[in-house]
Amino acid sequence: MVLKNLQEFQIALGGCYGGLFEVYPIKVRGSLILDPSPQRIYSYIGYAIEDLFKRFRTIPRWLRGSCCRAPTVRKVADGREHTYNYLDQLLTVKCFYYHLNRLNNFSMMICWGVKAYLNWDEYRHLWQFDKFATVKQFMGTDPTIEQIDSALGFYTDIWRHLDNTDEGFVMYSIRVSLFAIREMLKSEAMEWKRTIGLAILGMVRGVMATVEYKIEVSTLCQTSCSTLRCPVC
């Protein structure tokens, strides 16, 4: 019965009954991490197994062929009294260790497997660099229209790719919710486009101001030259 329960627990961790845990990717200090972390999920599984063992300790061990409880014995090593329980009997069964180790290895695989599967390093540049400083440096190179259009299209493609990404997925018994992090990354991509747009607007306004100034000077020169010699001309 105990071995069957361990096997059923492993089947549940394998996702047979849906997601038992739900995690969310969050951004902390420039890095994306899972909350709760794989270590914490692994601890939860360990706590569940430990709780099962504690329940076994409450079951007394009976003398063979009778309904009498096993008497309390005194350990030779430290002289402390010990009452044998059901867990002590389980620990003498070799296949119990086999299933326990198998369950432990499977738990580690699903916990750290989710972290390995969730790789968002390709989007790290969205929040890692200062937007205004980077765009200012880019505009300082006097980019062509094609280069500006390529930069805007780059972040548009990222937004579309994220918009087509699922809101979450289930890996074994762990459900990963991607809605919040997806919306955050989409917002970062749009912020890059807005920053580039503001830089383009500032550049266009500067060019227009220069053109207006030249037109005013040219008009003034034409008016002045008809009556007296223009110092500009």
Give the predicted TM-score (pTM) of the model: 0.67
What's the pLDDT at 218? 78
> For residue 227, what pLDDT band results from cuts at 50, 70 and 90?
low
What's the pLDDT at 192? 94
* Torsional class of 77: left (φ above 0), alpha (ψ -120 to 50), beta (otherwise): alpha
What is the C-alpha separation between 111 and 104, in angstroms, rounded? 11
What's the pLDDT at 95? 78
What is the C-alpha separation between 194 and 173, in angstroms, rounded? 40
18-27, 101-110, 149-158, range with greatest mean pLDDT = 149-158
Higher confidence at residue 78 or residue 147? 147
Do 115 and 36 form a contact (C-beta atoms < 8 A)? no
What is the C-alpha separation between 108 and 116, in angstroms, rounded? 12
Share of the chain above pLDDT 90, in %: 15
Task: Output Rg (C-alpha) for the chain, integer angstroms.
Answer: 35
What's the pLDDT at 153? 93
Higher confidence at residue 112 or residue 135? 135
Residues 165-194 have pLDDT tens digits of 888 888 888 888 888 888 988 999 999 999
Paired residues of 25 in beta bridges: 34
Share of the chain above pLDDT 70, in %: 82
Higher confidence at residue 72 or residue 96? 96
pLDDT surpassing 80 at residue 31: no
Residues 32-49 have pLDDT tens digits of 788 888 888 888 888 888
Mean of pLDDT values over 139-167: 89
Domain boundaries, the chain: 1-119, 126-233
Average pLDDT of the residues of the chain: 80
Q: What DSSP state is assigned to residue 168? A: E
- Three-state secondary-structure class, residue 74: strand
Number of C-beta neighbours around residue 224 at 10 A:
14
